[in-house]
Amino acid sequence: MNIIETFNLCKYYKNKKALDNLNLEVPEGIIFGYLGPNGAGKTTTIRLLLNLAKPTNGYAIIMGENILKSKKYLSKIGFLPDVPNFYNYFTAKEYLAILAEILGVDKKRVDEVLELVDLKNEKKRIGTFSRGMKQRLGIAQTLLHDPKLLILDEPTSALDPQGRKEILDLIKSLKGSKTIFFSTHILSDVEKICDRVAIIKDGKLLLNEKVEELKKRYAKRMITIEVDNQDILWEKLKDKPWVINIAVHNKSLLLNIKDISMAQKEIPKIISENNLSLIHFEFLEPTIEDIFFEVIS
């Protein structure tokens, strides 16, 4: 079952199509990575889903409710904006207590979520928090009312490696209990925690697939070859129609292949004809980064 479904969702500004006929499906219970370069339309999608902006055309169904007709679904969503800001003069506990009261949540829950993000004993005002602490507080806030769906807009983008790891571990720990819609342009983060990814560029959805299937589909397209004279091999391969591109990596050549069967037949032949010695040959599993760049190009 899909927790989010969008139908030809569009958002046009004066001179720009921020989102163009987006048809997105997000299954329930997974960590969903919403990928795209800066300005691709990730935040616009989130703002439309959360009633922070109105679509120009189209609609979305979230947890069975049409976002144009109902706002009840919003109470079942936890949202972390890309730059979370809080009332700086409160402590984390005071802030969440206020929010708990507004949302009708038991105040015991405040301590629970603060413990989960390791801020339970933090007595300082939010204004003095580091970026990572604010991000963790943001996640605590999203969990406060125990929502079914978490929408996290670039939760790791401005964090140092340690902060990123903490947030990713936290998100990963929620896997199974919640659906997590997670937008980012950091590809390694998606690879680490997501079950499924969608790639968006210039407001258009380019792909929406399970990470495993995606890797299978794009597997055996990357080959690394090491021979005793890589210049000769590079010269012979560079104009072959089944080669997309070649990169030199240390002493090896990294080949991106269009037609794998042709490569399997031709490469041994070229090595043999040019009297080269084969040192290493390997099919590489593509990373999300490889797939991302291939898809968006």
Partner 1 sequence: MIWKLMKKELKEFLKTGKIYVLLFSLLFFGISSPIIAKFTPEIIENLVKNQEMQGLIIQLPPPTWKDSFIQFFKNLNQIVFLIIVLLFIGCISEEKNKNTASIFIALGIDRKKWIFSKFLFQIIITYFFLLISFIACAYYTYFLFSTFPIQNSISAMFLYFIYIFFILSLIIFSSSLGNNFIQSAGIFLGIFIIFNLLSIFPNMNPYNPMSLSSLQNEWILKGVIWKDALKNIIFTLIYSFILLILGVVSFEKQEL
Nearer to partner 1 by Cβ, of 74 and 232: the residue is 74
Q: Does 292 bind partner 1 (CB under 8 A)?
A: no
**Which of 79, 181, 218, 292 is close enough to bind partner 1 by CB under 8 A?**
79
Locate 264 and state its tokens: 């399997």
The interface with partner 1 within residues 149-178 (CB under 8 A) comprises none
CB 71 → partner 1: shortest distance, Å?
A: 5
Find the shortest distance in angstroms from Cβ 187 to partner 1: 26
Q: Which stretch binds partner 1 (CB under 8 A): 2-10, 88-96, 129-137, 270-278?
A: 88-96
Q: Which of residues 23, 28, 52, 274 is near partner 1 by CB under 8 A?
A: 52
Query: For partner 1, which stretch binds (CB under 8 A), given 27-35, 73-81, 191-199, 209-217?
Result: 73-81
Interface residues with partner 1 (CB under 8 A) are 47, 50-54, 71-75, 77, 79, 81, 83-87, 89-90, 94, 98, 101-103, 141, 145
